Amino acid sequence: MTEQIPQQGRCADTDGELVRRVQGGDGMAFDLLYRRHCHRIHALVARFVATKEDVEDVVQEAFIKAYRALPRFRGDSAFYTWLYRIAVNTAKNFNATRMRRPVPVELDPDGSDSPNIESLQDSADPESLLRRDELERVIAAALADLPEDLRVAVTLREFDGLTYGEIAAIMECPVGTVRSRIFRAREAIDEAIRPLIAADARNRRTVRFR
Amino acid sequence: MSQASTSDGVQETLSAAMDGEAMSDELHGALDAASRDDELRAKWERMHLASAVMRGALTTSGSPPASAPLGTKRGRRAAKPSRRPRLRLGPAVAAVVAVLAALTVVLVADLVQEEGSPNLVAATAPAPTASMPAAAESTDVQPLLQEVVELGPIDRRRMNAYMLQHARYNAAAGTAGIPLARVLGDPPTAELEEE
């Protein structure tokens, strides 16, 4: 049995850690992976598949495929890149079986931290658009209400994609302070969007049980 | 939610883990806590959702969120027009286009001289030369050019007729472009067949 080397002081690969847990039999770790990536995968699939119901089916199928294949995932590529490919292939297969013409897109999972999912208007239904618009509005308002140091920290992270170290250099404060500010900003945003998400979840349940 | 999982430290670690900035030793404990706590997992998911919205991954219009500072990298990226799928023509196609451009020059010059209208030469000949890829001047192109020139009599007639038509049109319209795509793609028409 090999001894585990302590890795104190080094940033961890969150996905890598969760993948190792799943491979070790921790099913709950997959739930965390799902929650971490489901929104981006949902947006990705919506570029290929027309209706909301079909998108949800394809996303579910993609995650099931990923779960089944995860024991064989060796980590040669990043987990999200691997998941991205599974989702795209699942969506294409779905379209092929439905004899639909797939939407041609340029695949570039590594091109940025989000794979160019900027346009969902072609496939999203009005209800989804309204929800997203509302979400954007609430988040923008929450950001505007933040104290300046929190707003700057979270903005540099989310909009500019800077690392904590880079933000610390810009804000002339320790990395730990940046981390704390980003967390507090996210907490405030979460407070703002929680009622919206809860209401949305209630509406979805109502629609499903009709 | 347990006291341990609700502690700011655990949640802060999970927030840092979203950005790949959590330390290895603390990440284990935070993930353990999240695995045991539904509310904490739900919160983590909401934070990811908000992050995706801010990063523009879920926007509906392709523009950055209202709060995106103008001039930021992400704002600029979101403001860029979406990439469209590109037709990736290989070097072979480029070579054929170059050859046809070269051929066009030769044919048009010949035809126009036969017509006894030197003005047309002036109007048409320089344009394809200007837009011709450098490869067209290479000696490697010569065998390909030879193949293209050795068209059958009907094809040659069609090509000649088409190029003559186009030369006349260019002279009349004052334009100089050679629509190579039409040369390649036009089906034979009755009018051309008759010639």
| Comparison of pLDDT for B176 and A128, the residue scoring more | A128
Please judge whether A32 and B31 are an interchain contact, meaning their C-beta atoms are less than 8 angstroms apart. yes
**What length does chain B have?**
195
Over residues A41-97, the pLDDT tens digits come to 998 998 888 888 899 999 999 999 999 999 999 888 999 999 999 999 999 999 988
Hey, is the C-beta of B34 within 8 angstroms of any chain A C-beta?
yes
Hey, is the C-beta of B46 within 8 angstroms of any chain A C-beta?
yes
CB atoms within 10 A of CB A110: 12
Quote the strand ranges of chain A, DSSP E. Answer: none
Please judge whether A160 and B73 are an interchain contact, meaning their C-beta atoms are less than 8 angstroms apart. yes
Please judge whether B31 and A119 are an interchain contact, meaning their C-beta atoms are less than 8 angstroms apart. no
Instruction: Specify the 3-state DSSP secondary structure of A75.
Output: coil
Please tell me the predicted confidence (pLDDT) of residue A26. 92
What ipTM was estimated for this complex? 0.77
Task: Give the integer Cα–Cα distance in Å for A197 and A64.
Answer: 24
Q: Which residues of B touch A143 (CB under 8 A)?
A: 54, 67
Asked whether the predicted pLDDT for residue B88 surpasses 60, the reply is no
- List B residues 131-170 in contact with A (Cβ-Cβ < 8 A): none
Question: Six-digit token pair at B101?
Answer: 């451009």
Sign of CA dihedral B167, B173, B177, B182: negative
CA A209 to chain B, closest CA, distance in angstroms equals 22
Q: How confident is the model at residue B45 (pLDDT cuts 50, 70, 90)?
A: very high
Q: Which residues of A touch B78 (CB under 8 A)?
A: 118
Please tell me the predicted confidence (pLDDT) of residue B193. 37
Cβ pair A102, A96 in contact under 8 A = yes
Q: How confident is the model at residue B168 (pLDDT cuts 50, 70, 90)?
A: low
Over residues B17-42, the pLDDT tens digits come to 999 999 988 999 999 999 999 999 99
Hey, is the C-beta of B85 within 8 angstroms of any chain A C-beta?
yes
Angle at A194 between CA A191 and CA A196, to 5 degrees: 130
A78 phi and psi angles, rounded to 5 deg = -65, 150
Task: Give the integer Cα–Cα distance in Å for B183 and A89.
Answer: 38
Task: Give the integer Cα–Cα distance in Å for B30 and A98.
Answer: 43
Task: Give the integer Cα–Cα distance in Å for A38 and A86.
Answer: 13
Hey, is the C-beta of B38 within 8 angstroms of any chain A C-beta?
no
Q: Which residues pair with A11 in a beta bridge?
A: B23
Please tell me the predicted confidence (pLDDT) of residue A100. 53
Over residues B102-156, the pLDDT tens digits come to 555 555 555 555 554 444 444 443 433 333 333 333 333 333 333 444 445 555 5
Q: Which residues of A touch B58 (CB under 8 A)?
A: 39, 43, 117, 120, 132, 135
> CB-CB: which of A11, A118, A160 is closest to B23?
A11
Task: Give the integer Cα–Cα distance in Å for B115 and B167.
Answer: 11
Which among A123, A92, A104 is positioned nearest to B85, based on CA atoms? A104
| Comparison of pLDDT for B98 and A39, the residue scoring more | A39
Q: Which residues of A touch B28 (CB under 8 A)?
A: 17
